[in-house]
Amino acid sequence: MTTTICFRATAFGLLLGSLGVGPAAAQTLDTRLIASGLSSPVFATVPLNDGRTFIVEKGGAIKVAQGGVVSNFFTVPVASSGEQGLLGLAFDPNYGVAGTPGHRRFFVNYIDPTTRDTVIASHRVNEAGTGVVAGSRVEVMRFDQPDALSNHKAGWIAFKPGDSNHLYIATGDGGGGNDPLNSGQDLGVPLGKILRINVNADSFPGDPNRNYGIPSDNPFAAVAGAQAEIFAYGLRNPWRNGFDRANGNLWIADVGQGSREEVNFISASSAGGQNFGWRVREGDIATPGVGGELQVGMVNPVLTYDRNAGVSITGGYVVRDVNSRLFGQYVFGDFVYGNIWAISGDGSAQSFGNALDLTAELDAGAAGPLGNIASFGEGFNGELLIVDYGGKVVQVVPEPGTAAMLVMGASVLLAAVGRRRRGLNTRRRP
């Protein structure tokens, strides 16, 4: 059902644009408050079309916002100093489909408060959808983090659209300056990578703490000495990534060391195996002090920006909200500077000088100015959500006046299409 809705919405948006009556370039953006008073929120998502937005707080809580009311949903103990905490949430694509392995199942990514390991675990929600079933926890996987280092934990997890088996997991290099353990280039460790595992299989039946399968088509599944879970590597701290719900392309925002912030891209048709260069490369340059030339097989980012624009990138999504003028554009931000930009969402190399700066327009929205951009999210139909680390989540919406104009334009289009169809039908009659 979700795939059908997304396809229709995407097709409708493209049709509007092709006829010149789609989301107008002059459309003003506005913001609507989803939730406020939160404690260090780092992610938001909408798994069902029931009006509920699930919000992750770094300290270990998942909250639910509905109709302006925020309530508690789930809490997990975490280590939360530095960049540790509850960092990722993914609802199974079949969360709402009874009779499937993923029914009422969700996954979390967090730092264990005792061992400081990264842990991926699943839980089941009760039939009412109001809380978690006691005893339903399954530890999917865990991996070691460097001792005494509390940064670069990444934590994003998600499923590729149309694929209910494979969970993708972003991992940072584990912390410290200039990747002291060279984790990003070491295929023998899971750090500094995008991992890909099958959550509906088990390649380790004798290990109660490894409840997942190794996809046979993972690029390093048969490489001696390599972690079979690795899908792509050479990353420093991929902070918030996003699949394009229209086509499955993957966008990866990697936080830089001291010179460059970058956006990387993996096409939906790719078999994986990309090396994005860290720590040899930082963005599109040799990492100052430790780097070198672009090596054979290393992939340059599709976009970089330097420290004049921002110092800590936050990745977003290609907007698929047909009511937005941002339709088809990749939106991302900067945590420290609070800036938000948009570029073409076709995956081609982009110049930052051509990026559209949305910061002032969104700060002027009804939900008030935005601060530290911790994450973006998507509504059920692709609406863009923005997570402000200072304590609120907003939805990007058209300004009321321009929204009305868009509806009028859509009505004109539909009427025109109807007339065209009637004309064709008339001409086809004998």
CA dist 269 and 385 (Å) reads 27
In the block, residue with structure tokens 């990722």: 88
Comparing 10-19, 134-143, 393-402, the range with the smallest average pLDDT is: 10-19
CA dist 23 and 258 (Å) reads 38
* Percentage of residues in the chain having pLDDT higher than 90: 85
Q: Is the pLDDT of residue 317 over 50?
A: yes
Which pLDDT does position 11 carry in this prediction? 47
Cβ contacts of 358 within 8 Å, gap of 6 or more:
29, 326, 331, 340, 341, 342
CA torsion, ordered 399, 401, 405, 410, to nearest 10 deg: 50
Predicted confidence band at 26 (pLDDT cuts at 50, 70, 90)? low
Which pLDDT does position 17 carry in this prediction? 44
Domain architecture of the chain: domains with CATH: 30-398 (2.120.10.30)
Strand 313-318 and strand 281-282: the pairing is: unpaired
**Residue type present at position 72:** N
Which pLDDT does position 409 carry in this prediction? 52
Which pLDDT does position 428 carry in this prediction? 31
Whether 333 and 347 have beta carbons less than 8 Å apart is answered as no
Predicted confidence band at 10 (pLDDT cuts at 50, 70, 90)? very low
Report residue 25: phi and psi, to 5°.
Answer: -60, -25
Q: Is the pLDDT of residue 113 over 70?
A: yes
How many CA atoms lie within 13 Å of 236's alpha carbon, on the beta-carbon side?
Answer: 27
**229 token code pair:** 């879970």
Residue of 196, 206, 148 whose CA lies nearest to 171: 196
Q: Is the pLDDT of residue 418 over 80?
A: no
Which pLDDT does position 400 carry in this prediction? 80
Q: Is the pLDDT of residue 4 over 60?
A: no
Residue 352: DSSP 8-state: G
Q: pLDDT per residue over 85-101, tens digit each?
A: 999 999 999 999 999 99
CA dist 347 and 357 (Å) reads 19
* CB burial of residue 165 (10 Å; 0-12, 13-18, 19+): middle
Which pLDDT does position 402 carry in this prediction? 54
Which pLDDT does position 1 carry in this prediction? 42
Whether 386 and 373 have beta carbons less than 8 Å apart is answered as yes
Q: Is the pLDDT of residue 222 over 80?
A: yes
Which pLDDT does position 27 carry in this prediction? 87
Which pLDDT does position 427 carry in this prediction? 34
Higher model confidence: residue 94 or residue 412?
94
Share the mean pLDDT of the chain: 90
When pLDDT is averaged across residues 401-423 and rounded to a whole number, the result is 47
Q: pLDDT per residue over 58-81, tens digit each?
A: 999 999 999 999 999 999 999 999
List the end-to-end C-alpha distance of the chain, in Å, as a whole number. 39
DSSP string over 358-393:
-HHHHHTSTT----SEEEEEE-TTS-EEEEETTTEE
> 98 in helix, strand or coil?
coil
Which pLDDT does position 134 carry in this prediction? 97
When pLDDT is averaged across residues 174-189 and rounded to a whole number, the result is 97
Q: pLDDT per residue over 265-298, tens digit each?
A: 999 999 999 999 999 999 999 999 999 888 999 9
Predicted confidence band at 25 (pLDDT cuts at 50, 70, 90)? low
CA dist 229 and 237 (Å) reads 18
> 52 in helix, strand or coil?
coil
Q: Which residues, listed in sequence order, are joined to residue 418 by a DSSP beta bridge? A: none
When pLDDT is averaged across residues 321-348 and rounded to a whole number, the result is 98
